[in-house]
Structure 1
Amino acid sequence: MKADTQTIDILLLGSGGREHALAAKLAASPRAGKLYIAPGNGGTASCGENVVLDDCDPAAVAAFAQSHGCGLVVIGPEAPLVAGVADAVRAAGIPCFGPGAEGAQMEGSKLFSKQLMERAGIPTAAYGSFTDEASALAYVREQGAPLVVKADGLAAGKGVIVATELSQAEEAVRECFGGTFGDAGNTVVIEEMLVGPECSLLAFTDGKTVRPMATSQDHKRALEGDLGPNTGGMGVYSPVP
């Protein structure tokens, strides 16, 4: 059978290093036609056309993809997924790479993910969840350090505080409920600290077939020697030995 050589125009959402890498690979495909990146960055500008578009507005993204004849939308960041952008794009009849809002809750709410793992019998660190500062502080003092304090919602990778001292855990709780992470800190998850190397194994699925990717290890702590706070990611290597 003759290979399909028809090209498709693509809309890529996001503005980080991840989107630069995605844009470069998409642009290199012989199947790619016009590539739009919203909002993009200096790196993505060399791969396609950066456009002004609110990537967390489902209606606006779907309308742009339709009006520009895009045959595929690829979503990089978590926030547009949680906002339901993928649902809106698919409802408009356009294929979209990324889960709908319901599936994205596994990333958008740490408490949702913990409860899901409990129901499915998936091992996970012991934890407590709280919606008020006093109860969270009482739990921290009862458990003692080390602990991991997490703002429940999306916080650009910065809402997880590894507290090796009780005072650090208490301060992290106060930061969450004090508005440091906005609405993401309205609920706080406090976990036991697990010690050991981190390994991520991601997979693509259409609901029936699962295709695993290579293992990877993310390094989130800022500063030399991992002495700084968590970030959205300082670097990653793959595969993991």
Structure 2
Amino acid sequence: MKVLVVGSGGREHALCWAIAKSTKLGKLYCAPGNAGIADVAECIDIGGEDVDALVGFAKDNAIDLVVVGPEAPLVLGLVDKLEAAGIRAFGPSAAASVLEGSKGFMKDMCAKAGVPTAAYGRFTDPEKAKQFIQDHGAPIVVKTDGLAAGKGVIICQNVEAAMTAVDDIMGDKKVFGIAGNEIVIEEFLQGEECSFFALVDGERALPLAAAQDHKAAFDGDKGPNTGGMGAYSPTPIATPEICDKIMETAITPLIKTMAAEGCPYKGVLFCGLMVRDGVPTVLEYNIRFGDPECQVLMMRWKSDVLEALDAAAQGRLDDITLDWHDETAMVVVMAAQGYPGAYEKGTEIKNIDAANSVEKAYVFHAGTKADGDRVLATGGRVLGVTGRGASVIEAQTTTYKAVDAIDWPNGFCRRDIGWRAVERERTKV
């Protein structure tokens, strides 16, 4: 098979790395890719949102399957245009992608499907939004309706902070641009977060695995939210019983409802949940693999990844059985100093090979580019250093051993990824 992966982040490096191991693969391309992806795929200089150029490349090169990594090309209708050209694609249609493209649509779809989620209101008028906040009090959560690169969710501990969030999003500042033309305000849910992933073929869903990510920039869950500073899988909070409940209450009803509404869902479904007292409640759905969660899923996924993604694209998940490494995987994100604020680009990263030589570790690239033999940082989140181990503590030890092998004075990372699970393991001993 000829396969094209779309995207340039750590998620796409993990997908390419996993797909490259498939016995069904003939040739692997990635557009646009990055310095690490170039080790496992041929990188093509086409932007992830240049839909027409991507379709043209797929046609000209007789691509059998296109795997779309990020959400933006999906919302722009890349899958629709590929399928119209007779090319199979892994990912939802533009109509189904509104599930992530609009938080208001997502909340309304949950209501139709009977999916347990936080009470909410949708607003295009800031004054009505503020009245809702006054009526409900705090803590409360203010979200942009549209895509905001994973940063459009503001947890407000008091009414004043919530009012400021509304002004920042909908007032003159418009800090998230048109994504904030409408906002969703919802109750704050207590509990422990987890991410759950399932493959979907339009009618059926096949559970993958649960993970827990770390959004805050700094140790102790301090600092501003980011796209994700680390993750691990499996997570102790998602017991087999909880995973069954998630499938029964959050995945299957949604898939059936979307099919009934005329926008069947295909691809990977990422469900963000809050778990409290053994009860999972949906926070959000995303239409793609999480980043950095994808890195830990791919480290644990033992069976043929390409075969499973292609089966989802063809509507035949019934044919697929998945096999997983019975170990914990962890990823620690190395980011540029200053992230998620302003940061310097073009700094050199050394000794990635030394990190890759650590047993059961692998470095996934995100914001990198090659400059001759050198690797330069080009983004905020730059590397996803990933490791496996028999326990969370072992996975953490392996991962930080690989982190410490890397020479990048301009980078930083959290040193406490997996802390909740580590504490649980230590109290068991």
TM-score class normalised by the smaller sequence: over 0.9
Runs (4+) off by over 3 Å: none
Q: Is the 8 A contact 1:55 1:80 kept in 2?
A: yes
Q: Secondary structure at the match of 1:129?
A: strand
2:217 matches 1:227:
no
The amino acid across from 1:74 in the alignment is V
Cα shift readout 1:187-229 (whole Å, capped 9, x = no counterpart):
1001110011112222112123321101112221221111222
- The CA deviation at 1:40 is 1.4
Post-superposition shift, 1:138? 2.2
Gaps of 5+ in 1: 1-7
User: How many Å separate the matches in 2 of 1:159 and 1:91?
Assistant: 33
| Alignment of 1:100 onto 2:93 | yes
Distance 2:117 2:78 in 1: 29
Deviations 1:42-95 (A, max 9, x none): 221211122221322332211111112211100011111111101111111111
Letter in 1 for 2:179: A
Which of 5, 25, 36 is residue 12 of structure 1 equivalent to?
A: 5
Q: Which residue of 2 aligns with 1:195?
A: 190
2:116 aligned with 1:120, yes or no? no
**CA distance in 2: counterparts of 1:135 and 1:42, whole angstroms:** 48
| Separation in 2, partners of 1:40, 1:166 | 43
C-alpha offsets along residues 159-184 of structure 1, whole Å, 9 cap, x if unaligned? Answer: 00111122221221122113211111
Structure 2 counterpart SS, 1:216: strand
Task: Name the CA distance, whole Å, in 1 between partners of 2:168 and 2:6.
Answer: 30
Contact 1:158 1:231 in 2 (8 A): yes
Taking the aligned partners of 2:44 and 2:89, their CA distance within structure 1 comes to 18
Query: SS at 2:229's partner residue?
Result: strand
CA contact (8 A) 1:149 1:173 kept: yes
| Structure 2 Cα separation of the partners of residues 210 and 16 of structure 1 | 26
Distance 2:187 2:233 in 1: 27
- Once residues 217 and 152 of structure 1 are traced to their aligned partners in structure 2, the CA distance between those partners, rounded to angstroms, is 24
Structure 2 unaligned segments of length 5 or more: list them: 237-429
The Cα offsets for residues 17-46 of structure 1, whole Å up to 9 and x where unpaired, read as 111101111112222222221121222121
| Other-structure match for 2:123 | 130
The answer to whether the Cα contact below 8 Å between 1:10 and 1:34 also exists between their aligned partners in 2 is yes
Matched, 1:38 2:37: no
Q: Where do residues 136-175 of structure 1 align in structure 2 (5 Å cutoff)?
A: 136-175=129-168
The reply to whether residue 216 of structure 1 matches residue 211 of structure 2 is: yes
Q: Residue in 2 aligned with 1:3?
A: none
Query: 1-side partners of 2:32 and 2:175: how far apart?
Result: 25
Output the CA distance in 1 between the equivalents of 2:41 and 2:152: 32
Distance in structure 2 (CA, Å) of the matches to 1:33 and 1:180: 45
* Structure 2 letter corresponding to 1:150: K
* Percentage of identical aligned residues: 52
The residue type paired with residue 222 of structure 2 is L
Instruction: Report the Cα distance in structure 2 between the residues aligned to 1:179 and 1:51, rounded to whole angstroms.
Output: 35
Inter-partner Cα distance in structure 1 for 2:51 and 2:84: 10
Structure with the larger RCO, 1 or 2 (CA within 8 Å, 6+ apart): 2
Question: What amino acid sits opposite 2:30 in the alignment?
Answer: I
Residue among 55, 59, 63 paired with 1:62: 55
Aligned partner of residue 228 in structure 1, secondary structure: strand
The DSSP-based 3-state class of the residue aligned with 1:201 is strand
Mapped partners of 2:221, 2:161: distance in 1: 16
Cα distance in 2 for residues equivalent to 1:221 and 1:66? 42
Q: Displacement, 1:230?
A: 2.1
Letter in 2 for 1:118: A
**Alignment length, in residue pairs?**
234
Code of the aligned partner of 1:114: K
Normalised to the residue count of structure 2, the TM-score between the two structures is: 0.53
Distance in 2 between residues matched to 1:120 and 1:26, nearest whole Å: 34
TM-score of the aligned structures, taking structure 1 as reference length: 0.92
Matches within 5 A, 1:69-108: 69-108=62-101
Give the letter for the 2:201 counterpart: D
Q: 1:4: which partner in 2?
A: none
* Match of residue 51, structure 1, among 39, 44, 53: 44
1:25 to 15, 18, 21: 18
- Letter of the 2:154 partner, please give it: I
Q: What one-letter code is carried by the residue in structure 2 that aligns with 1:179?
A: K
